[in-house]
């Protein structure tokens, strides 16, 4: 199928990179959206060291660049054999295999305009059994676009058996606020987010999927225990609503809780724990202000008992959060259970220390050192990986010293 993309985008040149994984031990799946393995005993690969000794509160680390010349990369996910899948927002799905970088064929028709394009990608936790790769993108509908969830299987360098699991209806014209993060909670369902497309009020309309968290069975059908099943005035696929634009989601591996963050306007970025059927307030209740004039948009969330309050929020300005991962690897023992969030506007990696469901401390790492952080993942080697959101974006790895 042909890919439609903004003509201002260009496909980057192919560059060589050294072998990402010399060997991988047996991989096990978990309830989150990634594969995890025991960390390798030794990293023998040679990559460009960007920062050799970064001091932080708990651990010193270095930053190496694994891959560069990526065209607005949005997400990264690992296949069980160590190969990487990386989405580029203009519409390319990249397979990194050793020192080769391939653009996969068979990607569905994508309209890459504004903030839209090819967005999240997550390899199914039981990939070795079912072979499914899930991804989100903005699909065309006349002059409009829709956040769409699809899955496909990989046959050499081509996506096959493509299945469109969900297409946002009604489609909308503003090319922004697509949401699009995917997570597997481990109960046979898949979660993904849809932003309110810059239109505000659809987030409070239960007959419109914009501004919500969608919960489906992994084949795209509706789970019978979704909170609005059987309600005539609500879509049965909606799991939570009142969201502006959620672009980070991770499952807590110990509690199973769904953690999710979303963009506010001017301030009001929020970190939430998602509850079935809960209303998170936007645009009627928010800690954010109107752009430019900084006037209130609605009441604050704590003022309405029917609104679910965030775990924490950021004011007076926005960090613009994107990507999120809990850390449970072995390389950083003092970071166990910490939550890592990327920041686009503030251009850093943020570490959150949790006590239960409370944020008790935050630390800013790599403050404006590598640019806009779009995605954060923990790799199968137990290191933290970040993607940067630029026309010459890169994949970085944070390594313990």
pLDDT tens figures, 118-163: 999 999 999 999 999 999 999 999 999 999 999 999 999 999 999 9
- Segment 109-117 mean pLDDT: 97
Query: What is the rounded distance in angstroms from the CA atom of residue 8 to the CA atom of residue 390?
Result: 13
Q: Give the per-residue pLDDT at 98.
A: 81
Q: What are the catalytic residues?
A: 177
Percent of the chain's residues with pLDDT above 90: 88
Residue 16 has pLDDT above 70, yes or no: no
Residue 141, Cβ density class (10 Å: 0-12 exposed, 13-18 middle, ≥19 buried):
middle
- Segment 94-103 mean pLDDT: 92
pLDDT band at 20 (very low <50, low <70, confident <90, very high): very low
Q: Is 68 strand, coil or helix?
A: strand
Query: What is the rounded distance in angstroms from the CA atom of residue 272 to the CA atom of residue 399?
Result: 29
pLDDT in tens, 221-280: 999 999 999 999 999 999 999 999 999 999 999 999 999 999 999 999 999 999 999 999
Q: Structure pTM?
A: 0.89
Write down the CATH superfamily of domain 4-400: TolB, C-terminal domain (2.120.10.30)
pLDDT in tens, 290-310: 999 999 999 999 999 999 999
* Cβ–Cβ under 8 Å, residues 375 and 74: yes
pLDDT band at 14 (very low <50, low <70, confident <90, very high): very low
What sign has the CA pseudo-torsion 363, 364, 366, 371? Answer: positive
Q: Let me know how long the chain is.
A: 401
pLDDT band at 45 (very low <50, low <70, confident <90, very high): low
Residue 390 has pLDDT above 60, yes or no: yes
Average confidence score pLDDT of the chain: 91
Query: What is the rounded distance in angstroms from the CA atom of residue 131 to the CA atom of residue 117?
Result: 24
Number of helices and strands (H, E) in the chain?
Answer: 1, 29
Provide the Cα torsion 233, 236, 241, 244; round to 10°.
Answer: -110
pLDDT band at 35 (very low <50, low <70, confident <90, very high): very low
* Cβ–Cβ under 8 Å, residues 70 and 393: yes
Query: What is the rounded distance in angstroms from the CA atom of residue 234 to the CA atom of residue 352?
Result: 35
The domain spans of the chain are 4-400
Residue 79 has pLDDT above 70, yes or no: yes
Strand partners, 76: 86
Beta strand 182-183 with 189-194 is antiparallel
Q: Give the per-residue pLDDT at 40.
A: 36
* Cβ–Cβ under 8 Å, residues 119 and 75: yes
- Segment 87-106 mean pLDDT: 95
| 169 CB-side CA count, 13 A | 5
Q: Give the per-residue pLDDT at 46.
A: 80
């Amino acid at each position: 199928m042909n890919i439609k993309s903004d003509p201002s985008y260009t496909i980057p040149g192919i560059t060589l990179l050294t072998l990402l994984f010399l060997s991988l031990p047996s991989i096990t799946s978990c309830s989150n959206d990634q594969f995890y393995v025991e960390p390798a005993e030794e990293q023998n690969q040679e990559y460009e060291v960007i920062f050799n000794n970064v001091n932080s509160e708990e651990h010193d680390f270095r930053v190496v660049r694994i891959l560069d010349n990526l065209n607005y990369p949005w997400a990264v996910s690992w296949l069980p054999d160590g190969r990487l899948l990386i989405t580029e927002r203009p519409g390319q799905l990249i397979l990194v295999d050793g020192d080769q970088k391939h653009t996969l064929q068979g990607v569905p028709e994508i309209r890459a305009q504004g903030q839209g394009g090819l967005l999240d990608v997550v390899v199914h936790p039981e990939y070795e059994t079912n072979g499914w790769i899930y991804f989100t993108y903005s699909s065309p509908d006349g002059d409009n676009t829709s956040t769409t969830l699809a899955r496909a299987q990989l046959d050499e360098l081509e996506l096959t058996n493509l299945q469109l699991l969900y297409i946002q209806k009604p489609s909308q014209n503003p090319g922004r606020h697509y949401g699009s993060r995917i997570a597997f909670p481990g109960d046979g369902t898949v979660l993904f987010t849809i932003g309110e497309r810059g239109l505000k009020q659809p987030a409070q309309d239960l007959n419109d999927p914009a501004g919500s968290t969608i919960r489906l069975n992994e084949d795209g059908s509706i789970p019978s225990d979704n909170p609005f099943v059987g309600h005539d005035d609500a879509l049965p696929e909606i799991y939570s609503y009142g969201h502006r634009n959620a672009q980070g989601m991770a499952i807590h591996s110990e509690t199973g809780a769904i953690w999710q963050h979303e963009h506010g306007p001017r301030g009001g970025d929020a970190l939430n724990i998602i509850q079935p059927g809960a209303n998170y307030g936007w645009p009627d209740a928010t800690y954010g202000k109107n752009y430019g004039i900084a006037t209130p948009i609605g009441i604050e969330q704590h003022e309405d008992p029917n609104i679910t309050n965030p775990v924490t929020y950021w004011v007076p300005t926005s960090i613009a959060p994107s990507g999120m991962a809990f850390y449970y690897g072995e390389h950083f023992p003092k970071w166990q259970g910490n939550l890592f969030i990327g920041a686009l506007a503030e251009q850093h990696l943020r570490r959150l220390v949790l006590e239960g469901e409370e944020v008790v401390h935050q630390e800013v790492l790599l403050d404006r050192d590598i640019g806009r952080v779009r995605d954060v993942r923990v790799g199968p080697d137990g290191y933290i990986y970040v993607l940067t959101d630029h026309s010459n974006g890169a994949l970085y790895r944070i390594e313990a010293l």
